[in-house]
Chain A
Amino acid sequence: MAIIEVNHLTKEYQLGHLTSLKETALNTMRRLAFQPVHERERFKALDDVNFHINEGEVVGIIGHNGAGKSTLLKHLANISKPTKGSVAVRGSIAPLIEVGAGVNPELTGRENIFLNGAILGIPKKIIQKKLDDIISFSELEQFIDTPVKRYSSGMTVKLGFSIATSLDADILIIDEVLAVGDLAFQRKCFDKMESMIVHQGKTVLLVSHNIRQIERICKRVILMDHGKILSDGNPSKVCGLFYTQSDDKIKTQSGGGNISSRKEQSGEIELISVELTNQQGNIVDKIAYNEDVTFNLKFKINNILEHPNFGFGIHTTDFLYLATEITEEKYKDQILSPGNYTLSIRIPNFPFLPGVFSIRVGVQAGKIARNIFYQENILPFQVKNTTEERTQSMSEGFIHLNGNWNLFHNLGDTQCIGE
């Protein structure tokens, strides 16, 4: 029997403000005169959502901002009521919807433990019993009798998480909580959640933008988009779909104008354009996985450049630098007179796994090397899947190592049994 049943759940919100007295009066007049009234626009935050969750399942919910994830959790936690459809939850729910909702800044840490416990419905006796555990988990022994308003934000969250996870509920609802605290504490929360999932067999619903985490702990992932369930099932498959979606979105965004990219230039050299060409020499913005590619960088040089040194790098859309190639000695002895130049770099078997990447370019010149040009996020491009099995997924990393497998039996002479 499903512990959570959601059937045809629809939630509509009215957009805009509460109608004023004037508007109400006008609408009443219109109604009396049988004229159409001004209705406020409606917005479907959830649109005919259906799913069942069985006991002990660990389900991740992913989607872009505004996809309806948090609204869905609010319905499960009984905070909002559906416009249409039904939500049935069999069991007690521990809402972690934003940890520390009930933390009061005026009270001390210890007082807040009792207050939050009461708000979450934990009997006082049980809190008393667990008090030491909660305090030691939160790592706040020293500050536990200090008012929370004097805590740092990380400390507040640590306290909130410690209280919420001490609750013995059948269903845990977690909304974006692991994005907080320092790395060590995040790790600890993560371990605690994993142990709650594995050892206590709790049903967990997890909303996060950290897809890597979701892929790791969830056995099932639901992808939401514009209030609808787009995909539901195997984590790597659903997350893969989400990545493809995000990549498309990022590419269209950064295609228009380089928003957050770094750009420095002295004027001695200008980058006119960058082209990406595939095996056939056509200019493209999508390449196939493992294809031979060439990047053509067209420069206009304004002043004479001595000892030029060109750099070319590839980074992810969130500016994680993945690889850099530098010309170093190659053109060191050259003196480039003003004019237009094309520098090309050919990369055989482009080693990156499917995803969206971008490039950065830097130029140094002079006897004592000066940076005269640097720009990031110049040309976003996409690496596409060639085969269906190879789903795009963070858990595989970014780079294709192109390794050769060999398996030997180590007894006796080295005999190859399979390659």
Chain B
Amino acid sequence: MLRIAKNLYTYRELIAALTWKNIVIRYKQAYLGILWAVLKPIMLMLVFTLVKGFVGIETGGLPYPLITFAALIPWVFFQESVSEGVNSVTSNANLIKKIYFPREVFPLTAMVTKLVELVISFAILAAMMIYYHVMPTLHAVWIPVFVLYTMIAALTISFFGAAMNVYYRDIAQAIPIALSLLMYGSPVIYPLSLVQKKLVIEQAAGAWSNDLYFLYTLNPLVGIIDGFQSVLIRATEPDLNVIYPGLILILVILPFSYWFFKRAESWFADVI
């Protein structure tokens, strides 16, 4: 953890330059420019809102588009950071073969690039909140903490995935599938309260209900998304009970993931 932070600082200029390159290149010959970055959560929100019209999802009296968008912001950030991060090493093969610098710069850069897009998404969320007359409260100070948590969760997967992808390109194929499955395992389309109601209150799965619920909360995205919605829209404290299983899991895996990446790093130039 500390090593990552230290590298982030030492190589800040390099990360900044590569991030800027990523953004410039992606949108340079596009008329809409960086707006493309935020089109994805907006489109998803519109689709979900449309679906919700048929299915009917309990939102606790809050506007559904707002709830969904607040969930989509961390989700899209996480998803894009991971998929970019996993590909970041292989897509920079020419640099890896020519110049040495710590290779974790690549997954870090992928994440920082998405951070820029995240900021724009927040601007849109702010506009929506004004439209729906939902004002942020003091609880919004939690947001940076959740963003940091999302970054750590994304990095945990990126480090391992990026290193594995150098050896087995299967990873890059598998990640989009795994991520789209994970979306249904996270409270993006539906609020967490729905799951809690089914499993904790109604004990819908019988004796397994509590175990299943614990398994569900092991997904760090559950805590993150619910946290985002709580502190921004519902104006309440985040529910720490939902957060800690995922957080502990991530904090346990991260050192291993980073260690694996550093060990594999020595052979990147030979194998890539």
Contact = CB atoms under 8 A, between A and B. Distances in A.
Do A and B pair up? The answer is yes
Interface of A: 13, 18, 74, 77-81, 95, 97-98, 101-102, 104, 106-107, 111, 114-115, 117-121, 123-124
Nearest to A99: B98
Nearest to B28: A106
A101 B24 contact: no
25 contacts: A74-B97, A79-B97, A79-B99, A80-B266, A80-B270, A95-B100, A101-B94, A101-B95, A101-B97, A101-B98, A101-B99, A102-B99, A106-B24, A107-B21, A107-B24, A111-B24, A115-B18, A117-B17, A118-B13, A118-B14, A118-B18, A119-B99, A119-B101, A120-B99, A123-B13
Interface string B14-30: 10111011001100110
Interface string B147-184: 00000000000000000000110000000000000000
A106 B269 CA distance: 24
A271 B52 CA distance: 90
A232 B227 CA distance: 66
Which 8 pairs of residues, A with B, have the shortest CB-CB distance? A118-B17, A101-B98, A81-B266, A78-B100, A106-B25, A79-B269, A118-B14, A80-B269
A104 B25 contact: yes
A121 B101 contact: yes
A77 B99 contact: yes
Contacts of A80: 266, 269-270
A14 to B, nearest CB: 9
B261 to A, nearest CB: 15
A107 B13 contact: no
B244 interface: no
A74 B24 contact: no
Given A77-B99, A77-B100, A95-B98, A107 B25 contact: yes
A115 B17 CA distance: 6
Contacts of A118: 13-14, 16-18
B213 to A, nearest CB: 37
Given A74-B269, A81-B266, A104 B21 contact: yes
Given A106-B28, A118-B13, 17 more contacts: A13-B270, A18-B168, A80-B269, A80-B270, A101-B94, A104-B21, A106-B25, A106-B29, A107-B24, A114-B17, A115-B17, A115-B18, A115-B21, A119-B14, A119-B95, A119-B101, A124-B13
A124 B29 CA distance: 26
A97 B98 contact: yes
A18 B167 contact: yes
Contacts of A79: 96-100, 269
B6 to A, nearest CB: 16
B25 A102 contact: no
Contacts of A123: 13
Contacts of B101: 119, 121
A203 to B, nearest CB: 17
A174 B267 CA distance: 23
A417 B18 CA distance: 71
Looking at chain A's contact residues, is the secondary structure mostly helix, strand, loop, or mixed?
Answer: loop
A205 to B, nearest CB: 15
Interface string B57-98: 000000000000000000000000000000000000011111
B266 to A, nearest CB: 4
Contact of B14 (A78, A81, A111, A121): A121
Contact of B267 (A78, A81, A102): A81
A65 to B, nearest CB: 18
A124 B11 CA distance: 12
Interface in B90-114: 94-101
Contacts of B16: 118
A78 B24 CA distance: 30
Contacts of B18: 115, 118-119
Contacts of B94: 101-102
A79 B24 CA distance: 27
A106 B270 CA distance: 27
A411 B25 CA distance: 76
Contacts of A95: 98-100
Contacts of A74: 97, 269
B258 to A, nearest CB: 18
A38 to B, nearest CB: 19
Task: Give the one of B20, B168, B270 with max A CB within 10 A.
Answer: B270
A97 B98 CA distance: 6
A120 B28 CA distance: 24
A98 B98 CA distance: 7
A79 B266 CA distance: 8
Nearest to B98: A101
